[in-house]
């Protein structure tokens, strides 16, 4: 199959590209700075020659959007909003104009769309969308609005011959350098992987192999459209999540961090505490209902697998 991945040069795109090429598919990546074979230039906003790649393709997986791994300043939040909405709109225009449109458009979204909560898990049918929770920073609501606008741009696209799925992904865990797991493991190895702000907030996650398998599953299932949660079925509190990660690496102690300490750490990492403090208790209702079986459903086994891959990777020195 021919698969086009707008915005496919980031961590998620690299993981997906690698797996799909290994499986024998033709993969074309749309990027602002093409540097490799089968990378095609686009600006993420306007139609251009790149749209010819979508015409006649089988699947489009749109991952385009400014990275969330940054400080949540007003300018960065606006850049997140604009890059996601504009890219989704122009992908929709390219599909609508195609003589032979793809049969499915998988659009990246985020589990951040759900409310910060501890009492019950969020699935697609009964989950609470965020934005109005009491006692949380005001800018968290803007993150939710970004997610809603991202999905809305896809939903409004006039693509009657192309099935559309919005992938509400939890944090993707892979051993790749610079990803979420890499950062969390580094903290654990330094003895800093303890509870943050009490550690009761839930962490939703998905193993990279299951993420790829879920993408392939969604591409094949003609009966699935609209929002689908891509998350392992067993989210757990942050304190337990980090305890398991420390055990997998063999670190006995993790120093706790108060909320203000987390602020300092996030500033040093050029990130934001929302990624650490917001409770994302998300479960994959629709995937489970339609028969998807996770290879890595529980965090202890998943963490052991990821640690083994880190230790066995090139250049690892302990």
How does pLDDT run across 76-98, given as a tens digit for each residue? 889 989 999 999 999 999 999 99
Q: How confident is the model at residue 2 (pLDDT cuts 50, 70, 90)?
A: very high
**Most confident listed range (191-205, 237-251, 268-282):** 237-251
Phi, psi values for residue 153, rounded to 5°: -60, -40
CA distances from 9 to 39, 52, 122, 137, 295 (A): 9, 19, 30, 31, 26
Q: How confident is the model at residue 158 (pLDDT cuts 50, 70, 90)?
A: very high
Q: Where are the alpha helices (DSSP H) in 221-290?
A: 238-249, 259-268, 274-277, 285-289
User: Rounded to whole angstroms, how far apart are CA atoms 210 and 190?
Assistant: 28
Q: 85, 154 in Cβ contact below 8 A? A: no
Average pLDDT over residues 301-315: 90
Half-sphere exposure for 166 (CA within 13 Å, toward CB): 21
Q: 122, 115 in Cβ contact below 8 A? A: yes
CA distances from 149 to 115, 144, 204, 267 (A): 16, 9, 22, 27
pLDDT tens per residue across span 160-210: 999 999 999 999 999 998 888 998 898 899 888 899 889 999 999 999 999
Average pLDDT over residues 119-139: 91
Residue 67 has pLDDT above 80, yes or no: no
Residue 317 has pLDDT above 50, yes or no: no
Strand partners, 59: 3, 104
Share of the chain above pLDDT 70, in %: 92
The b/e string for 126-154 (b: 16+ C-beta within 10 A; e otherwise) is ebeebbeeeebeeebebbbbbbeebbebb
- 10-14, 124-128, 273-277: least confident range: 273-277
Residue 270 has pLDDT above 70, yes or no: no
Average pLDDT over residues 214-238: 97
User: Rounded to whole angstroms, how far apart are CA atoms 176 and 227?
Assistant: 27
CB atoms under 10 Å from CB of 94, counted, come to 28
269 vs 78, more confident: 78
């Amino acid at each position: 199959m021919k698969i086009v991945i707008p915005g496919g040069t980031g961590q998620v795109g690299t993981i997906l590209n690698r797996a799909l090429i290994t499986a024998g598919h033709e993969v074309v990546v749309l990027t602002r700075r093409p540097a490799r074979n089968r990378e095609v230039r686009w600006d993420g906003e306007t139609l251009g020659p790149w749209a010819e790649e979508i015409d006649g393709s089988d699947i489009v997986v749109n991952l385009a959007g400014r990275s969330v791994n940054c400080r949540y300043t007003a300018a960065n939040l606006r850049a997140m909003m604009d890059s996601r909405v504009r890219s989704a709109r122009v992908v929709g225009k390219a599909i609508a104009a195609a003589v032979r449109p793809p049969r499915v458009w998988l659009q990246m979204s985020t589990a951040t769309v759900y409310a910060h909560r501890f009492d019950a898990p969020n699935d697609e049918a009964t989950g609470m969308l965020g934005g109005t929770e009491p006692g949380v920073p005001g800018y968290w609501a803007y993150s939710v609005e970004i997610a809603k606008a991202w999905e809305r741009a896809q939903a409004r696209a006039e693509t009657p011959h192309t099935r559309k799925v919005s992938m509400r992904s939890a944090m993707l865990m892979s051993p790749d350098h610079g990803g979420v797991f890499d950062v969390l493991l580094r903290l654990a190895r330094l003895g800093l992987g303890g509870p943050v702000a009490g550690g009761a907030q839930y962490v939703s996650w998905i193993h990279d192999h299951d993420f790829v398998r879920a993408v392939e599953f969604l591409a094949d299932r003609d009966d699935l459209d609209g929002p689908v949660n891509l998350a392992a079925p067993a989210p757990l509190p942050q304190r337990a999540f980090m305890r398991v990660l420390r055990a997998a690496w063999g670190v006995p102690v993790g120093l706790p961090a108060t909320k203000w300490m987390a602020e300092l750490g996030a500033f040093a990492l050029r990130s934001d505490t929302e990624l650490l403090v917001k409770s994302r208790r998300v479960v994959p209702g629709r995937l489970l209902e339609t028969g998807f079986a996770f290879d890595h459903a529980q965090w202890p086994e998943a963490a052991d697998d990821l640690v083994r891959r880190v230790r066995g990777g090139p250049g690892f020195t302990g």
